[in-house]
């Protein structure tokens, strides 16, 4: 698949999870965030794409979901996709918090966020965490390459790796690598 096809697949899966949320206050594996906060984080990240691509102002912290979280999240995905499909974006350089990178990196960032936080939403809501096996395996490979054996501190965005359960799916292994523990156990 192309990076944009990966984006569409991941975005569709997460949008489906968001559409099925019945308890926006359910706790998640992200210690300080409930489901609404995780979805808001994803919508905020979608808004940041325009800034990083040089196509809009900075996206300040705040509520990106309003009174209609499902609709607001879906609209944020469409806006991000619109930016990501801008002519030439995938090959030109863009500036992110991780430095200057090819524009296609923005697509990979969104896919990885969707896979990881999709797991958080699925876990918190009781949905299957067997999400996007190929994309989850790819994200795990990218994160392993990025972090290597560098220590991670508890309380950071990615905690120390925890043991994945026996027979874990790719998404479960990714979540464990990023220090997440299921809130359902």
Q: Is 59 inside any structural domain?
A: yes
Q: Which pLDDT belongs to residue 155? A: 66
Q: What is the mean pLDDT of the chain?
A: 94
Tokens of 62: 């705040």
Calpha distance 121→136 (Å, rounded): 15
Q: Is 167 inside any structural domain?
A: no
Q: Is 173 inside any structural domain?
A: no
Q: Which pLDDT belongs to residue 174? A: 96
Write the pLDDT tens digit of every residue in 78-110. 999 999 999 999 999 999 988 999 999 999 999
Q: Which pLDDT belongs to residue 150? A: 76
Beta bridge partners of 100: 95
Domain count of the chain?
A: 1
Do 84 and 107 touch, CB atoms closer than 8 A? yes
Q: Is 135 inside any structural domain?
A: no
Q: Is 147 inside any structural domain?
A: no
Q: Which string of DSSP letters, residue by residue, matches the chain?
A: --HHHHHHHHHHHHHHHHHT-S-TT-B-SSTT-BHHHHHHHHHHHHHHHHHHTTSS----SS-SSTT-HHHHHHHHHHHHHHHHTSTTTTTSEEEETTEEEETHHHHHHHHHHHHHHHHHHHHHHT------HHHHHHHHHHHHHHHTT----TTSSS----PPPTT--HHHHHHHHTT---S--
Q: Which pLDDT belongs to residue 154? A: 66
User: What pTM did the predictor assign?
Assistant: 0.94
Write the pLDDT tens digit of every residue in 158-170. 888 899 989 999 9
CATH of the domain at 49: 1.20.120.450
The residues of the chain scoring below 50 in pLDDT are none
Q: Is 18 inside any structural domain?
A: yes
Q: Is 177 inside any structural domain?
A: no
Q: Which pLDDT belongs to residue 61? A: 95
Q: How many CB atoms lie within 10 A of CB 67?
A: 7
Q: Which pLDDT belongs to residue 165? A: 86
Range of the domain at 85: 3-128
Q: Which pLDDT belongs to residue 83? A: 96
Q: Is 156 inside any structural domain?
A: no
Q: Which pLDDT belongs to residue 148? A: 74
């Amino acid at each position: 698949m192309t990076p944009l096809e990966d984006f569409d697949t991941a975005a569709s899966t997460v949008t489906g999870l968001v559409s099925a949320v019945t308890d926006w206050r359910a706790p998640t594996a992200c210690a300080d965030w409930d489901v609404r906060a995780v979805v808001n984080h994803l919508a905020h990240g979608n808004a940041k794409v325009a800034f990083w691509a040089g196509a809009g102002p900075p996206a300040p912290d705040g509520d990106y979901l309003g009174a209609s979280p499902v609709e607001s999240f879906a609209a944020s995905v469409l806006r991000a996709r619109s930016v990501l499909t801008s002519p030439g974006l995938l090959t030109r350089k863009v500036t992110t918090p991780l430095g200057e990178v090819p524009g296609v990196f923005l697509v990979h960032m969104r896919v990885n966020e969707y896979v990881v936080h999709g797991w958080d939403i699925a876990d918190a809501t009781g949905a299957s965490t067997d999400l996007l096996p190929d994309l989850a395996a790819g994200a795990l490979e990218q994160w392993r390459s990025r972090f290597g054996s560098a220590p991670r501190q508890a309380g950071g965005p990615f905690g120390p790796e925890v043991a994945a359960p026996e027979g874990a799916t790719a998404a479960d292994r990714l979540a464990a690598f990023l220090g997440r523990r299921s809130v359902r156990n």
